[in-house]
Amino acid sequence: MPGTFFGLEIARRGLQVHRTAMDITGHNVANASTPGYTRQEAVITATGPYANPTLGSRLLPGQLGTGVEATMVRRIKNEYLDTQARDSISSRDFWQVQEDLFARIEAVFAEPGASGIASTLTKFFNTWQDLNNTPQDPGVKAAVAETGDELATMMREAYQQLGDIAESILKIEQDGSSINVTGGQLKDQVDTVNEILRQIRELTEAIKRVYAQGNQPNDLLDKRDLLLDRLAEYGPVSVTHLTEGGRPTGEIALTFFGEDVRAAGVTVELVPEVETPPGEIKEVKLRIGSEEVFLTNYPANLPKAGSLAGLEETRARIDGYTDEADNKVEGYRDKLENLAGALKDTIYQALNHGHDDVPNNDIPDKIDFFTGSLAGGNFAVDPDIMKDPTKIDGTNALYVARLATIGMDGTKDFELGKGASGNPVKVDLANLGGATFSEYFHALLADIGARSGSASDMAGSRRAVAEQVESLRQSVSGVNLDEELSRLIQYQYGYQASARVLATINEMLDYLINRTG
């Protein structure tokens, strides 16, 4: 039979457990707005019953309960939803960074519009047609020079602005055979990744120590999970929680872009490969530990994910890259350079028909209309023409005007017409894939527009998926203040009831001890 003071212990346990549950609920309420916080609850179970009857004890009709205890503070977590959330974060940021960058690329060209490159290109060839109608008109010659200068300036500025966008993603300096990454979003994000990995390792060691002592490191686990979510913003992440004998150890198996980053000392580095010559970036890889991973051609079993891959994919679209077959794929700057070079070369040939390089004879001297290159930053109308537009030979204006309608494929020359002597006027065609100047430029714009639209659509859908998964995760792990306050009232009444039991037993004992004799 239980002792006289047996009920006091039951009441004490009730008070203690309900007070603990109230403290945990208060902790939940206090952290309702804390990023990454996971709701906790006390696991409340009955304590072991009163000892079984023995030979010398009285047989009771059943075992007597001994009260209640809080066996652990449980973290309400669903690891499957965590995995889904990180995957959706990686996919969202891959497309989101491209959406932002392509919006900047589209702003460079401001097309379609009356003041863009496309309309200026059309106006440029129209002025040559006007000059053909009045070959000696100095006003029309001045218009040709001014329109050409306007076109060259627009192309030069667009080329430079695209370069600025690419450099904002990755900036390198080359000193002989040494290549150093000196700036850009890729460098900043890789530095952030390494700092996140350092913090994850430190937290993992602290978590393992707490588990080894038989405790539950809930708040430390929340901090680590939040860091894992941040890591997923930059690339595909895989997390496996390790156990020993069915019990958690706090250790995790962690991969980034498919490579193990758990061990101390493993860092992530950018490895740009540069063409020699001309020193342009060929491709960018990540060195993770001793392994190298392509940012645009990484293993097929990994989805395209994370802002690092999104940044490099967009940079490659601007500057060009080398594909898996080691073929050079032209970027937007390459195509602008092709267009400028084709204009320069073909106009030179058409404009100088019947001219030579011999001074002081009756034959007009050859003259450049465009000089320099976009890559050199000096593509412009020849300064001599800008000073004196009358140097333009209006008698050849028709040949230049006809260039606007010729598809350029680089495989043959093209007859523009017959010269004054009756000889054919031919030019060697640049290689623009069989397109006219206007078609070539519009194809460039169409590619930018299509990729921008695709990035925007994909970013929108991936944001919606990420929000939906996060909403599901919060429905399981997040703090609902209404629910917490309901539990708080429940625990409050439980505490008050336990206190009432204690007071009742106290009255009984007082009567027994002090009022019986």
Kindly state whether residues 51 and 144 are assigned to the same domain.
no
Where do runs of H (alpha helix) occur along 302-406? 307-319, 332-351, 383-387, 397-402
63: containing domain: 6-76+481-514
| Cα angle for residues 312, 198, 284 (degrees, 5° grid) | 15
DSSP-derived letter for residue 420 is: T
Please give the tally of structural domains in the chain. Answer: 2
What integer pLDDT is reported at residue 354 of this predicted model?
Answer: 45
User: Are 48 and 66 a contacting pair, CB within 8 Å?
Assistant: yes
Q: What is the pLDDT of residue 494?
A: 94
Q: Which residues contact 320 (CB under 8 A, 6 or more apart)?
A: 280, 328, 329, 330, 331, 333, 334
> Rounded distance, CA 16 to CA 76, Å?
22
Q: Do the domain assignments include residue 428?
A: yes
Cα–Cα distance list, 98 to 135, 215, 343, 388 (Å): 49, 44, 31, 46
Question: Helix 138-169 to helix 117-133 angle, to the nearest 10 degrees?
Answer: 160
Half-sphere exposure of 217 (CA within 13 A, CB side): 22
Clarify whether residues 506 and 426 are in a common domain: no
The answer on 343 and 436 residing in a single domain is yes
Whole-number Å distance between alpha carbons of 142 and 385? 9
- In three-state secondary structure terms, 42 is strand
Judge whether 284 lies within some domain: no
Same domain, 354 and 402: yes
Helix (H) or strand (E) holding 432: strand 431-435
**Per-residue model confidence (pLDDT) at position 361:** 45
Domain boundary among 443, 467, 501: 443
In a domain, 250, yes or no: no
Nearest to residue 230, comparing CAs of 270, 196, 262? Answer: 196
pLDDT score at 419: 44
Does residue 341 share a domain with residue 437?
yes
341 and 432 housed in the same domain? yes
Residues 123 and 49 in one domain: no
How far apart are the C-alpha atoms of 330 and 319, rounded to whole Å? 7
Query: Is 420 inside any structural domain?
Result: yes
> Is 507 part of any domain?
yes
Query: 402-450, pLDDT tens digit by residue?
Result: 888 876 554 544 444 444 444 444 445 556 777 888 889 999 999 999 9
Q: Which of 418, 443, 468 is the last residue in one of the domains?
A: 443
Determine phi and psi for 414, rounding to 5 degrees: -140, 135
C-alpha torsion sign, points 135, 138, 139, 144: positive
What is the four-CA torsion angle of 457, 461, 466, 471, rounded to 10 degrees?
140
The model's pTM is 0.86
Peptide bond into 112 cis (omega under 30): yes
Q: Is residue 308 part of a domain?
A: no
Contacts of 343 (CB under 8 A, 6+ apart): 370, 437
> Tens digits of per-residue pLDDT, 265-296?
899 998 887 766 556 677 788 999 888 888 87
Do residues 295 and 284 touch, judged by C-beta distance below 8 A? yes
CB 388 within 8 A of CB 144: no
65 and 129, same structural domain?
no
End-of-domain residue from the set 416, 443, 470 = 443
Identify the segments of the chain with pLDDT beneath 70.
1-3, 51-62, 176-177, 275-280, 297-301, 322-328, 353-366, 407-431, 517
Both 346 and 439 in one domain: the answer is: yes
Residue 116 domain-assigned (yes or no)? yes
Question: Rg for the chain (alpha carbons), in Å?
Answer: 38
- What letter represents residue 104's amino acid? R
Query: Are residue 60 and residue 132 in the same domain, yes or no?
Result: no
- Examine residue 202 and state whether it is found in any structural domain, yes or no: no
Contact 82, 225 (CB under 8 A): yes
381 with 439, same domain: the answer is: yes
Do both 356 and 430 map to the same domain? yes
